[in-house]
Structure 1
């Protein structure tokens, strides 16, 4: 019996130690690699990836790092996260829309300093 695939969203976030192209690229690639590994994602099944970055991260687009990581055929979009007073700084967030088996549980990943954003996960 064939497993039905459905569209699922996977969330994640990671902090970046400094506002430099190298740091943004390194942390974005780390976040994507962890999410893809933990969820057994296949590039061909990813529909799109939406990134946000806090206003203090503007030295590089997270999407540039994704392209360098080989995600060249997937629609990518970057936006600036809302600047809410007192919120966590230097954070890249991601929402990946992908096809997964209906019965596969999604693992959302909040890494490094971003763990405080979703302690329930």
Structure 2
């Protein structure tokens, strides 16, 4: 069993508490599903948010999902001119038998455009909230 890091991000349509909680929960669930992980496989999760996200701590969404014994941390993303607004990112440290090449990183909604350079990405462009329709398998994501 190895320790691996899984990346992911989602973009909010608006900085509203319930919307943030929904989008972050969707992201966490998809990271777990795409990599065949459970809460027991999680070592820790670091969440970052852009400076325009102020309605709630992203880690609270994970707590609401039952991640009460997983160390969670929230931090502020760097404020770079021209960067995408209203983005929540995560980096989950996990124990898994997957190789680095087998890890699937998850980018949802507008954040799907952030990391198309990765070969194993589950990217979902902007769709109605909660929809995974139109998701491209990692092998089909193109820059």
Specify the TM-score bucket, using the shorter chain as the normaliser. over 0.9
Q: Distance in 2 between matches of 1:100 and 1:117?
A: 25
Aligned residues: 117
* Alpha-carbon distance between aligned partners in 1 of 2:4 and 2:108, rounded to the nearest angstrom: 20
Name the structure 2 match of 1:80.
Answer: 76
Counterpart residue number, 2:47: 51
Structure-1-length-normalised TM-score: 0.93
TM-score relative to the length of structure 2:
0.79
Tell me the SS of whatever aligns to 2:13.
coil
Relative to 1, partners in 2 of residues 1:81 and 1:103: Cα closer, same or farther, differing over 3 Å? closer
**1:99 and 2:95 are equivalent in the alignment:** yes
Q: Which ranges of structure 1 fall in alignment gaps of 5 or more residues? A: none
Q: 2:12 aligns with which of 2, 8, 16?
A: 16
For CA contacts below 8 A with separation 6 or more, give which structure has more relative contact order: 1
Confirm or deny that 1:32 pairs with 2:28. Answer: yes
Runs (4+) off by over 2 Å: none
Cα distance, 1:102 vs structure 2: 4.8
